[in-house]
Structure 1
Amino acid sequence: MSLNVDNCPRCGKMYQKNPRDLCPSCIKEMDLQYEKCIAHLRANRGIDLQELSEATEVPVRQIIKFIREGRISIINTPNIHYPCEVCGGPIRDQAICDSCRQRLSKEVSNTLEDEKRREELRRQQNQTGFNISERLRDR
């Protein structure tokens, strides 16, 4: 029988595992940070990410995490952008920008095409070798 406990990644305290993977005190602290951000955004829709962080004393990284989790909606806040995970350019939705997504898609398709070419070359080499061995056996 296991105790199902872990150490909190934020504070290091031991806690009973839960879906949020944080100890109860860190969960409360994050919820308070979230409430601060929401209240400030409702009152000041024209601010940007840095201003929100300074006003609420919530780290920018945590605010970005709230946005990516879908807890904070930035639909009605035109000045809030967060960095693309690949290039760092400003984006308003998803994890990577359109240009990085297109480049990644192109690289994947190129890799698949290269793999198909390699497989075709292997098949051709195997067929050639097989034909020569057949000829030698027939003699």
Structure 2
Amino acid sequence: MAELKVAHCAMCGKVFQVNLRNLCNECAEIHDRRFEAVDRYLMKNRHATTEQTAEATGVPIKQVREWIRQKKISLAAHPNLTDVCDLCGGPSRTGHLCAKCSYRLKSDIDKMLAEEQAERERKREHSYKLKGQADN
């Protein structure tokens, strides 16, 4: 006998038969209508911001940003759309971090690697070789 897999809908919490979208049929339709509304709005308003898009379509800004992050909405075609930086909360058009946080993180990593290299050099200077040990 086939096993029926059920789950709770991610949007409304209703029990439904599991599918790839993790949404019940009603919420899947709502989701699709929302995406179509955003898509239509952006086709007519290419320079709209994320906030303007959410307000004009009635779609939660969190949902619009999720579609941006999932690359369902192209940032290349819409120069004023942004996601939110995971570190500082500022606007980001490149992945999960804004340019400022990305640069700061890279700088911190480079500094840490340089400190580790300096520590290895310092230890190497203070070490000595045992007699009879091959030179490296």
Using the size of structure 1 for normalisation, the TM-score is 0.71
The aligned runs of 1:113-132 (5 Å cut-off) are: none
Opposite residue 29 of structure 1, the aligned amino acid is I
Question: Aligned residue for 2:67?
Answer: 66
Measured in 2, the distance between the counterparts of 1:10 and 1:107 equals 39
Query: Structure 1, residues 9-29: CA drift from partner, whole Å, max 9, x if none?
Result: 211111111111111111111
Unmatched segments (≥5 aa) in structure 1: 118-139
Measured in 1, the distance between the counterparts of 2:104 and 2:17 equals 43
Query: Structure 1, residues 82-136: CA drift from partner, whole Å, max 9, x if none?
Result: 2111111111131112332344456567788999x8xxxxxxxxxxxxxxxxxxx
Opposite residue 47 of structure 2, the aligned amino acid is G
Give the secondary-structure state (helix, strand or coil) at the position aligned to 1:26: helix
Measured in 2, the distance between the counterparts of 1:44 and 1:17 equals 36
Measured in 1, the distance between the counterparts of 2:88 and 2:105 equals 12
Question: Aligned residue for 2:96?
Answer: 95
Question: Aligned residue for 1:19?
Answer: 20
Question: Computing the radius of gyration over CA atoms, which structure comes out larger, 1 or 2?
Answer: 1
When the two chains are superposed, the root-mean-square deviation of aligned CA atoms in Å is 2.5
Opposite residue 72 of structure 1, the aligned amino acid is I
Residues 33, 114 of structure 1: alpha-carbon distance in 2 compared, 3 angstrom cutoff: same
Give the secondary-structure state (helix, strand or coil) at the position aligned to 2:51: helix
Unmatched segments (≥5 aa) in structure 2: 120-136
Measured in 2, the distance between the counterparts of 1:95 and 1:86 equals 8
Using the size of structure 2 for normalisation, the TM-score is 0.72
Query: Percent identity between the aligned chains?
Result: 35
